[in-house]
């Protein structure tokens, strides 16, 4: 995998990214020439007002969407040229994704959800999963189903799912947006600690200044550009 | 509805006709003969009476084979056969109640084609039958009959038609009738089974063959066999090989073997003037070539200096009729040259 | 890739399938829907296949299934000499003698065949396959053809012939013989039927050898009928309608079953939309997600299909005896009452299950394929009806309605059924729009907050329930339609029986002498003796029967005439005219005043009478005229008029005096009972299918309701929060289901009656040759109304119970999840 290459210090590289949404109400330009570089092990917070394009940028980096213009390369994959399968491969093997709505698989229990992406990527390690569950405080909940968990518990499962395969890049989209402040803080701390412990790079979108301050670097999106 | 199902019953009953019941000897010829007339060494032959049907005997046939040369220079063979099978030892001769069933086969063979057809008929109603004088044998629109005014069977007109072929031939005999065995009493097994058997091997024949490729005028020689019995085969006998040859020196040779635990051979060597020399076990040797049925044979009559090999004109001359067998023209090479017919029955289906 | 693709597929498939494990009821719905659909379809197919195979058994074995027939035209004779002449000319034909034997009241078909030429008609005879298949133990051609001969018959037929005078004929029991038929040699048959040298027909090889002279040169009085043209005498032509009828029902059931599948599959896709998105976000390519979902559906289809085939098999096995009885009773076609497993049938069942699942799952798969990875807001749930969707359905319905007259114009049975399909589908499509309109109207009238909410909420749910309601409507309409048809049939038939079986006793003599003696004996004891002689004849090119009847008030007052010329009975008695049955009139296009060719000369038609349950043409003429035309017809059968209270004693006296078997004397009530039995059986199969269809519709409704129950919690929660208790909500929900079912039922009434009209006036005429007056039965409608309410109750109970027992926490979560 690309993360095995020691020469690659730059994990994500974006230059001149443009993205416009076509809506029935007309064209909505969201990103107008964004440049961003994320290095190995680095944590970057993207902040900005609602509608500033934070999530869009994150989705582009995660290969969930394609830019209209500009150069975008993540873990050596040129995302402007990649097709659905190539982007899926990148997401599966290189990226851990944490969503605001957790997006757990409701019909699988916590244990299965935790190991899901690692298994998908073929990197599941039972001992590592065990440790991770303990670190996340989920050991007692492994047999439960998502609907039986609180929001904070669900987000901890989602974080565990993203990290279990040790991906070189973790993307988090408002990971604490659905949690109350206290829970959100605790979860965010835990996430950052675990990401650092594993040496993964982290890009997170948030409008919580406190969360952003916990990251190595903070970029602000305004009017479609990084400031 | 019901009429369709009637076919089942028909099939059921037809299995009792000369067919299928192979375990009773070939084509049922080894079966029960209770109540039927039996061949009699002292009976002799009487003409024209014996040209006709012998309803009190169980089975009987009128069997004509012809070796022909077409105006196109090719060899052809023609077969016209009418079988009679009595279903009961006695019964009325007229009407549906007459216990007689008839079956006929016609074939025309060329080096690259073999066409045949089969007909069935009931006795007593005129659909099929044989009259002795004037001679006529017929089933449906097939017939072998003396032309008007002709006595006996010295002159015959032979016609038949199948789905993809037909023929219309006229034959004239240039020699006498020939009685096989002892005055026409022909023994067929070591245990004494026998039949009444005579032939007219001296026909010149000509006419027209209609084949899928068109009509062709033909001329050649023909051989008529007449045989009737009630049980010509022993129970253990499985089939026979029968050979009738027209040798170029004017002699005719009938050689046959009935295959059983040990083959039973018999034959007749017929001089150009019709004198018959019966051939028995020891006078005659038949050696089959390869294949089943074997379409090449070595035929030897040491006492007469005959050592010939016969070869089928068309090895694919199987008769896929209700009782399958092989019947086709052959060429003769060796000590004598000539042509003839080969018939083989009771071989396992290929 | 280092990752084992197979392992990944297993993982993803596991995630997809885990949905079903968490929702076993939904899985059960999906499987049950598919299984029932397949079961109904394949069950009926099995019945059909078995019946068809029965007709064709002999035909298949010998290739004689569709042999052309040569028959004498217009009363001329066909003799053995004609047969021989044709054979000698090269025609490959075989003679047939057909007739009927009577033994007391038992009638057995006598079939004379000529086995030797018969088998020579087809090349199949030459492969010897039949002989090796093992014929009966003592098949003996000689014994068969030489008098007294042998007759082949089943044991049952042999029993029916017990004691009959068959001139010493030996009966060979043959389980394969056609039911109620004695097969003998053609010569024996001529003797038994006293036909002299006459034959009924010749069957001919399909391909005649070239060079045979044309028929009009050898036998100009014979006409060749092509069996492919489908004469009325062919059971296939008659029974085809019955099978088509069953197939139409099976297809309807299958469609109803698909409604269930469709809602279960649709719900599954809907509920798993988030999971699918998550899976793709986690790096599963779209193509793999689609392939795995399709595979999941295919497995479900195969499992449910296999179960459905087993169920269908069981159903067919249970229905088969009824079908066999129907076919033999109504059409005289004989079918074995047992079932055989046919690979083609299994494959067709699995194929239908797969095709049905594909149809039901196509929408979900397409939506999944198009689903954007990033959800830009919630897409409209599948269960929500859109105004545009309703409009489209109405337009489609309009097109179907326009196609309806076109189908009728095509005519024939197929046209009739196509028109039926168009009408039913159009009605189903238009149903949601109609219900929506009704609810819109109700909304304007609604007073009170709760009522207003109730109506609005019902309207909103219409989309989710529309499929199920359409299924219910179709099931009800089919029930009404078929029920009305059966009811009309039964009442008409009963009335007709009363008219037709007006004499008190019917007596069959064993011999003509005995018949004469019976009439002499009765002369002083009965009020009237009405001889009924009959003979078989070719009527308008089809085999039929001619009756000679006495001039008597029994006929004048009671005979079920559909049309009559003035002075009808006088002209009949004087031999100046005849009556024809409705079948003959319709098939040959003959009406009053037209002349009909009869043996011994044509006569004008003076009347048409109804003759239910008889597929063959029939003619009635005066007794004297009949005697002149058919001097050889056996004179064995007579009706006896006597005071009803004396009928029993007279019957007993007759039996004593002439030592008649019980079956030789039939009293009116007994005859009516037997006749009615036949018709009850005819429609037993249809009734069974009706019940099953309704059950399937009930399950569809249940599925729809369960689907909605999970979706509409957010809509119920605020109402609950506003102070309506859960029990009341549940009651309202059940009430809603009932109201929708009742509305659907009301809509189904005209649709069902239309269906009944089509069945009676179009399909029935095409299939049977007679038309029935439509008899709308209010009890039937009431019964079906109750059935629809019951179905709704059964379907609505579980969702309502669940709602009543829902925890406040679950309702509260709606607010917690609300964003």
On whether residue C446 sits in a domain, the answer given is yes
What is the average per-residue pLDDT within A131-139?
89
| Residues C59 and C74 occupy one common structural domain | no
Higher pLDDT, A152 or C271: A152
Residue of A nearest to C19 (CA): A107
pLDDT for the residue C235: 42
Chains A+B touching (3+ CB pairs under 8 Å):
no
Summary mean pLDDT of chain A: 86
- Would you call A105 and C3 a contact, using CB atoms and an 8 Å cutoff? no
Q: Is 90 exceeded by the pLDDT of residue B30?
A: no
On whether residue C86 sits in a domain, the answer given is yes
List residues of C whose CB lies inside 8 A of any A CB.
1-4, 7-8, 11-12, 14-15, 18-19, 21-23, 274-275, 277-288, 373-374
- Would you call B96 and C61 a contact, using CB atoms and an 8 Å cutoff? no
On whether residue B16 sits in a domain, the answer given is no
pLDDT for the residue A7: 43
Tell me how close the Cα of C752 comes to any Cα of chain A, in angstroms: 44
Which residues of chain C make contact with B88, given a CB cutoff of 8 A? 142, 146
The tens digit of pLDDT for each residue in C412-450 reads 667 777 787 788 888 888 888 888 888 888 888 877 778
What is the average per-residue pLDDT within A157-165?
90
pLDDT for the residue B16: 42
Query: Among A181-185, C105-109, C431-435, C570-574, whose mean pLDDT is lowest?
Result: C105-109
Q: Which pLDDT band, with edges at 50, 70 and 90, does C139 fall under? A: low
Domain count of the fold of chain C = 4
- Would you call A93 and C3 a contact, using CB atoms and an 8 Å cutoff? yes
The DSSP string of C556-597 is: HHH--EEEE-TTHHHHHHTTS-EEEEHHHHHHHT--TT-EE-
**CB < 8 Å from B in window 197-216 of C:** 203, 207, 209-212
pLDDT for the residue C256: 66
| Residues C100 and C212 occupy one common structural domain | yes
Which residues of chain B make contact with C88, given a CB cutoff of 8 A? 126-127, 138, 140-141
Cβ-count burial of A221 within 10 angstroms (0-12 exposed, 13-18 middle, 19+ buried)? buried
Q: Which pLDDT band, with edges at 50, 70 and 90, does C325 fall under? A: low
Higher pLDDT, C215 or C124: C215
Higher pLDDT, C73 or C572: C572
The tens digit of pLDDT for each residue in A73-100 reads 999 889 888 888 888 899 998 999 888 8
pLDDT for the residue B221: 97
Residue of C nearest to A89 (CA): C283
What is the average per-residue pLDDT within B202-219?
95
Q: Which pLDDT band, with edges at 50, 70 and 90, does C411 fall under? A: low
pLDDT for the residue C717: 79
Q: Is 80 exceeded by the pLDDT of residue C680?
A: no
What is the average per-residue pLDDT within B337-348?
91
Closest CA to B171 of B275, B46, B85, B62: B62
Closest CA to C326 of C611, C695, C64, C50: C50
| Residues C364 and C259 occupy one common structural domain | yes
pLDDT for the residue C339: 59
Residue ranges making up the domain that contains C159: 69-225
What is the average per-residue pLDDT within B315-324?
86
Q: Is 90 exceeded by the pLDDT of residue B45?
A: yes
Residue ranges making up the domain that contains B325: 26-345
Question: What distance in Å separates the CA atoms of residue C259 and residue C253, rounded to the nearest whole number?
Answer: 10
Cβ-count burial of C274 within 10 angstroms (0-12 exposed, 13-18 middle, 19+ buried)? middle
Query: What residues form DSSP beta bridges with B331?
Result: B311, B339
Question: What distance in Å separates the CA atoms of residue C87 and residue C811, rounded to the nearest whole number?
Answer: 90
Q: Is 80 exceeded by the pLDDT of residue C287?
A: yes
On whether residue B60 sits in a domain, the answer given is yes
Tell me how close the Cα of C202 comes to any Cα of chain B, in angstroms: 11
What is the average per-residue pLDDT within C510-531?
86
Q: Is 90 exceeded by the pLDDT of residue C349?
A: no
Give phi and psi for C353, each to the nearest 5: -60, -45
Which residues of chain C make contact with B13, given a CB cutoff of 8 A? 115, 135, 139-141, 144
- Would you call B141 and C90 a contact, using CB atoms and an 8 Å cutoff? yes
Question: What distance in Å separates the CA atoms of residue C181 and residue C177, rounded to the nearest whole number?
Answer: 7
| Residues C493 and C511 occupy one common structural domain | no
Residue of C nearest to A124 (CA): C3
Architecture of domain A2-226: 3-Layer(aba) Sandwich (3.40)
3-state DSSP of chain B: CHHHHHHHHHHHHHCCCCCCCHHHCHHHCCCCCCCCCCCCCCCCCCCCHHHCCCCCCCEEEEEEEEEEEECCCCEEEEEEEEEEEECCCCCCCCCCCCCEEEEEEEEEEECCEEEEEEEEEECCCCCEEEECCCCEEEECCEEEECCCCCCCCCEEEEEEECCCCEEEEEEEECCCCEECCECCEEECCCCCCEEEEEEEEEEEEEEEEEECCEEEEEEEEEEEEEEEECCCCCCCCCEEEEEEEEECCCCEEEEEEEECCCCEEEEEEECCCCCEEEEEECCEEEEECCECCECEEEEEEHHHCEEEEEEECCCCCEECCCCCEEEEEEEEEECCCEEEEEEEECCCCC
| Residues C557 and C468 occupy one common structural domain | no
Q: How many CB atoms lie within 10 A of CB A99?
A: 20
On whether residue C230 sits in a domain, the answer given is no
- CB within 8 Å of B291: residues ≥ 6 apart: B315
Closest CA to C547 of C460, C451, C655, C639: C639
Q: Is 80 exceeded by the pLDDT of residue C408?
A: no
Residue contacts between A and C (CB atoms, under 8 Å): 86
pLDDT for the residue B256: 93
Q: Is 60 exceeded by the pLDDT of residue C731?
A: yes
Domain count of the fold of chain B = 1
On whether residue B294 sits in a domain, the answer given is yes
pLDDT for the residue B23: 31
pLDDT for the residue C681: 56
On whether residue C323 sits in a domain, the answer given is yes
Residue of B nearest to C203 (CA): B3
- Contact at 8 Å (CB) between C320 and C47? yes
Which residues of chain B make contact with C126, given a CB cutoff of 8 A? 118, 320-322
Which residues of chain C make contact with B20, given a CB cutoff of 8 A? 128, 131-132
Residue of B nearest to C128 (CA): B322
Higher pLDDT, B271 or C649: B271
Tell me the domain boundaries of chain A. Answer: 2-226
Q: Is 90 exceeded by the pLDDT of residue B65?
A: yes
pLDDT for the residue C306: 92
Query: Among C46-55, C401-410, C688-697, C746-755, whose mean pLDDT is lowest?
Result: C46-55
Higher pLDDT, C375 or C236: C375
pLDDT for the residue B49: 94
Higher pLDDT, C807 or B203: B203
pLDDT for the residue C542: 75
Which residues of chain C make contact with A103, given a CB cutoff of 8 A? 274, 277-278, 281
| Residues C22 and C78 occupy one common structural domain | no
Residue C249, both tokens: 């029902």
Rg (CA), chain B: 19
- Would you call A117 and C282 a contact, using CB atoms and an 8 Å cutoff? yes
Residues in chain A: 227
Q: Which pLDDT band, with edges at 50, 70 and 90, does B68 fall under? A: very high
Q: How many CB atoms lie within 10 A of CB C1?
A: 10
| Residues C538 and C633 occupy one common structural domain | yes
Residue of C nearest to B12 (CA): C135
Summary mean pLDDT of chain B: 87
Largest CA distance in chain C: 107
pLDDT for the residue A218: 92
Higher pLDDT, C812 or A176: A176
Give phi and psi for C345, each to the nearest 5: -70, -45
Residue of B nearest to C151 (CA): B9
- Contact at 8 Å (CB) between B329 and B313? yes
Interface probe, candidates B19, B88, B92, B96, chain C, greatest C C-beta count within 10 A: B96
- Would you call C18 and A99 a contact, using CB atoms and an 8 Å cutoff? no
pLDDT for the residue B12: 46
Q: Is 90 exceeded by the pLDDT of residue C224?
A: no
Largest CA distance in chain A: 52
Does residue C82 sit at the B interface (CB-CB below 8 Å)?
no
pLDDT for the residue C53: 58
Q: Which pLDDT band, with edges at 50, 70 and 90, does C612 fall under? A: low
Give phi and psi for C39, each to the nearest 5: -60, -45
On whether residue C123 sits in a domain, the answer given is yes
On whether residue B39 sits in a domain, the answer given is yes
Q: Is 50 exceeded by the pLDDT of residue C54?
A: yes
Give phi and psi for A27, each to the nearest 5: -80, 130
What is the average per-residue pLDDT within C365-386?
59
Question: What distance in Å separates the CA atoms of residue C449 and residue C456, rounded to the nearest whole number?
Answer: 11
Residue of B nearest to C234 (CA): B1
Summary mean pLDDT of chain C: 77
Q: Is 90 exceeded by the pLDDT of residue C136?
A: no
| Residues C216 and C165 occupy one common structural domain | yes
| Residues C678 and C786 occupy one common structural domain | yes
- Contact at 8 Å (CB) between B7 and C118? yes
Residue C664, both tokens: 């030789």
On whether residue C690 sits in a domain, the answer given is yes
Higher pLDDT, C264 or C337: C264
Q: How many CB atoms lie within 10 A of CB A213?
A: 10
| Residues C531 and C468 occupy one common structural domain | no
| Residues C598 and C685 occupy one common structural domain | no
Q: Is 80 exceeded by the pLDDT of residue C239?
A: no
Interface probe, candidates C142, C184, C185, C195, chain B, greatest B C-beta count within 10 A: C142
Q: Which pLDDT band, with edges at 50, 70 and 90, does B225 fall under? A: very high
Q: How many CB atoms lie within 10 A of CB A161?
A: 28
CA angle C608, C609, C610 (to 5 degrees): 130
For the domain that residue B108 is a member of, what is the CATH number? 2.40.370.10
Q: Is 90 exceeded by the pLDDT of residue B98?
A: yes
Of C113, C145, C203, the CB nearest to B87: C145
Of A65, A108, A121, the CB nearest to C18: A108
On whether residue B168 sits in a domain, the answer given is yes
Q: Is 90 exceeded by the pLDDT of residue B111?
A: yes
Q: Is 50 exceeded by the pLDDT of residue B3?
A: no
């Amino acid at each position: 995998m690309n993360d095995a290459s020691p020469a690659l210090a730059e994990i994500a590289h974006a230059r001149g990214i443009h993205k416009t949404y076509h809506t029935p109400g007309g064209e909505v330009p969201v990103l107008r020439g964004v440049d961003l570089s994320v290095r190995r092990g680095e944590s970057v917070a993207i902040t900005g007002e609602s509608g500033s394009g934070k999530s869009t940028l994150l989705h582009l980096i995660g290969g969930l969407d394609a830019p209209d213009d500009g150069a975008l390369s993540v873990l050596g994959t040129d995302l402007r040229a990649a097709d659905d399968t190539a982007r899926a491969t990148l997401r599966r093997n290189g990226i851990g994704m944490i969503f605001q709505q957790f997006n757990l698989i409701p019909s699988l229990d916590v244990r299965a959800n935790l190991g899901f992406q690692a298994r998908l990527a073929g990197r599941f390690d039972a001992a590592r999963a065990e440790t991770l569950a303990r670190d996340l405080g989920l050991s007692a909940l492994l047999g439960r189903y998502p609907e039986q968990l609180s929001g904070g518990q669900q987000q901890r499962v989602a974080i565990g799912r993203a990290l279990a395969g040790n991906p070189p890049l973790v993307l988090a989209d408002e990971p604490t947006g659905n949690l109350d402040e206290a829970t959100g803080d605790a979860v965010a701390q835990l996430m950052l600690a675990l990401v650092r412990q594993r040496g993964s790079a982290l890009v997170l979108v948030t409008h919580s200044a406190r969360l952003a301050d916990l990251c190595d670097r903070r970029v602000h999106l305004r009017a479609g550009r990084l400031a | 509805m019901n009429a369709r199902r009637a076919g089942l019953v028909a099939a059921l009953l037809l299995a009792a006709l000369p067919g299928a019941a192979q375990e009773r000897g070939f084509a049922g010829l080894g079966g029960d003969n209770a109540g039927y007339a039996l061949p009699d060494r002292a009976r002799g032959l009487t003409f024209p009476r014996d040209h006709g049907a012998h309803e009190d005997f169980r089975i009987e046939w009128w069997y004509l084979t012809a070796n022909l040369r077409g105006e196109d220079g090719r060899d052809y063979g023609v077969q016209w056969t009418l079988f009679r099978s009595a279903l009961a030892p006695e019964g009325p001769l007229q009407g549906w109640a007459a216990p007689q069933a008839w079956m006929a086969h016609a074939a025309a063979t060329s080096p690259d084609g073999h066409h045949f057809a089969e007909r069935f008929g009931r006795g007593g109603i005129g659909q099929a039958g044989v009259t002795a004088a004037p001679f006529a044998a017929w089933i449906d629109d097939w017939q072998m009959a003396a032309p008007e005014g002709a006595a006996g069977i010295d002159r015959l007109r032979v016609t038949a038609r199948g789905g993809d072929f037909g023929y219309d031939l006229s034959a004239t005999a240039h020699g006498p009738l020939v009685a096989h065995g002892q005055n026409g009493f022909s023994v067929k097994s070591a245990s004494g089974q026998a039949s009444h058997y005579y032939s007219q091997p001296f026909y010149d024949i000509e006419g027209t063959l209609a084949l899928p490729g068109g009509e062709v005028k033909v001329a050649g020689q023909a051989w008529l066999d007449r045989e009737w019995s009630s049980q010509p085969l022993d129970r253990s006998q499985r089939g026979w090989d029968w050979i009738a040859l027209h040798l170029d020196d004017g002699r005719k040779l009938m050689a046959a073997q009935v295959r059983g635990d040990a083959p039973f051979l018999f034959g007749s060597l017929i001089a150009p003037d019709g004198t018959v020399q019966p051939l028995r076990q020891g006078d005659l040797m038949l050696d089959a070539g390869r294949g089943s049925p074997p379409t090449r044979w070595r035929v030897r009559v040491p006492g007469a200096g005959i050592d010939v090999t016969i070869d089928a004109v068309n090895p694919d001359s199987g008769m896929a009729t209700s009782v399958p067998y092989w019947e086709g023209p052959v060429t003769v090479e060796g000590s004598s040259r000539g042509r003839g017919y080969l018939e083989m029955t009771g071989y396992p289906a290929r | 890739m280092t990752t084992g693709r197979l392992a990944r597929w297993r993982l993803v498939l596991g995630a997809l399938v885990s949905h079903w494990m968490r929702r076993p009821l939904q899985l059960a719905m999906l499987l049950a829907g598919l299984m029932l659909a397949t079961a109904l379809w394949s069950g009926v197919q099995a019945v059909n296949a078995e019946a068809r195979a029965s007709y064709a058994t002999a035909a298949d074995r010998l290739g004689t299934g569709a042999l052309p027939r040569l028959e004498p035209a217009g009363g001329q004779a066909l003799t053995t000499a004609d047969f021989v002449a044709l054979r000698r000319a090269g025609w490959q034909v075989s003679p047939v003698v057909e007739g009927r034997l009577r033994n007391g009241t038992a009638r057995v078909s006598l079939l004379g065949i000529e086995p030797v030429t018969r088998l020579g008609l087809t090349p199949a005879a030459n492969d010897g396959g039949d002989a090796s298949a093992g014929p009966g133990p003592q098949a003996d051609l000689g014994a068969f053809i030489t008098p007294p001969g042998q007759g082949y018959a089943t044991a049952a037929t042999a029993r029916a012939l017990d004691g009959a005078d068959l001139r010493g004929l030996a009966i060979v029991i043959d389980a394969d013989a056609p039911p109620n038929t004695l097969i003998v040699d053609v010569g024996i048959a001529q003797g038994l039927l006293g036909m002299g040298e006459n034959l009924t027909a010749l069957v001919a090889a399909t391909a005649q050898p070239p060079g045979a002279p044309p028929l009009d040169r050898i036998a100009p009085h014979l006409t060749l009928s092509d069996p492919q043209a489908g004469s009325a005498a062919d059971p296939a032509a008659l029974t085809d309608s019955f099978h088509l009828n069953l197939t139409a029902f099976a297809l309807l059931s299958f469609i109803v079953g698909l409604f269930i599948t469709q809602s279960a599959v649709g719900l599954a896709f809907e509920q798993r939309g988030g999971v699918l998105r998550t899976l793709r976000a986690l790096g599963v390519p779209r193509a793999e997600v689609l392939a795995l979902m399709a595979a999941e559906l295919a497995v479900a289809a195969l499992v449910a299909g296999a179960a459905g085939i087993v169920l269908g098999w069981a159903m067919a096995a249970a229905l088969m005896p009824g079908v066999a009885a129907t076919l033999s009773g109504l059409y005289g076609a004989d079918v074995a009452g047992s079932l055989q497993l046919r690979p083609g049938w299994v494959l067709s069942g699995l194929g239908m299950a797969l095709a049905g699942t594909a149809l039901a799952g196509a929408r979900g798969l397409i939506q999944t394929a198009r689903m954007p990875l990033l959800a830009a807001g919630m897409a409209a749930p599948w269960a929500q009806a859109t105004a545009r969707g309703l409009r489209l359905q109405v337009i489609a319905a309009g097109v179907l309605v326009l196609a309806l007259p076109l189908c009728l114009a095509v005519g024939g049975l197929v046209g009739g059924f196509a028109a039926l399909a168009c009408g039913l589908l159009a009605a189903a499509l238009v149903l949601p729009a109609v219900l929506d309109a009704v609810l819109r109207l109700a909304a304007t009238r609604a007073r009170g907050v709760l009522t207003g909410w109730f109506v609005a909420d019902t309207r909103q749910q219409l989309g989710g329930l529309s499929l199920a309601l359409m299924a219910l409507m179709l099931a009800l309409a089919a029930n009404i339609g078929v029920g009305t048809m059966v009811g009309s049939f039964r009442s008409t038939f009963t009335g007709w029986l009363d008219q037709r079986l007006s004499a008190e006793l019917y007596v069959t003599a064993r011999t003509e002498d005995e018949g004469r003696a019976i009439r002499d004996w009765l002369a002083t004891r009965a009020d009237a003796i009405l001889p009924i002689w009959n003979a078989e004849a070719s009527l308008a090119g089809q085999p039929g029967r001619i009756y000679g009847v006495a001039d008597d008030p029994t006929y004048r007052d009671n005979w079920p005439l559909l049309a009559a010329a003035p002075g009808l009975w006088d002209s009949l008695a004087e031999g100046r005219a005849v009556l024809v049955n409705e079948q003959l009139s319709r098939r040959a296009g003959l009406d009053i005043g037209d002349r009909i060719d009869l043996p011994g000369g044509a006569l004008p038609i003076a009347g048409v009478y109804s003759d239910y349950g008889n597929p063959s043409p029939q003619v009635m003429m005066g007794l004297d005229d009949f005697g002149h035309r058919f001097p050889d017809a056996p004179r064995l059968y007579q009706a006896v008029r006597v005071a009803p209270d004396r009928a029993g004693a007279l019957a007993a006296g007759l039996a004593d005096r002439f030592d008649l078997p019980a079956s030789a004397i039939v009293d009116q009530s007994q005859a009516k009972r037997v006749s009615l039995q036949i018709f009850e059986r005819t429609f037993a199969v249809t009734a069974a299918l009706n019940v099953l269809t309704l059950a399937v519709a009930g399950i569809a409704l249940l599925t729809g309701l369960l689907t909605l129950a999970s979706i509409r919690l957010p809509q119920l929660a605020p109402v609950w929060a506003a102070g309506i208790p859960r029990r009341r909500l549940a009651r309202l929900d059940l009430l809603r289901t009932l109201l929708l079912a009742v509305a659907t039922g009301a809509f189904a009434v005209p649709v069902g009656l239309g269906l009944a009209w089509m069945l009676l006036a179009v399909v029935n005429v095409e299939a049977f040759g007679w038309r029935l007056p439509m008899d709308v039965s209010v009890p039937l409608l009431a019964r079906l109304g109750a059935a629809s309410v019951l179905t709704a109750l059964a379907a609505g109970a579980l969702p309502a119970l669940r709602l009543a027992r829902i925890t406040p926490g679950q309702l509260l979560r709606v607010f917690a999840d609300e964003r």
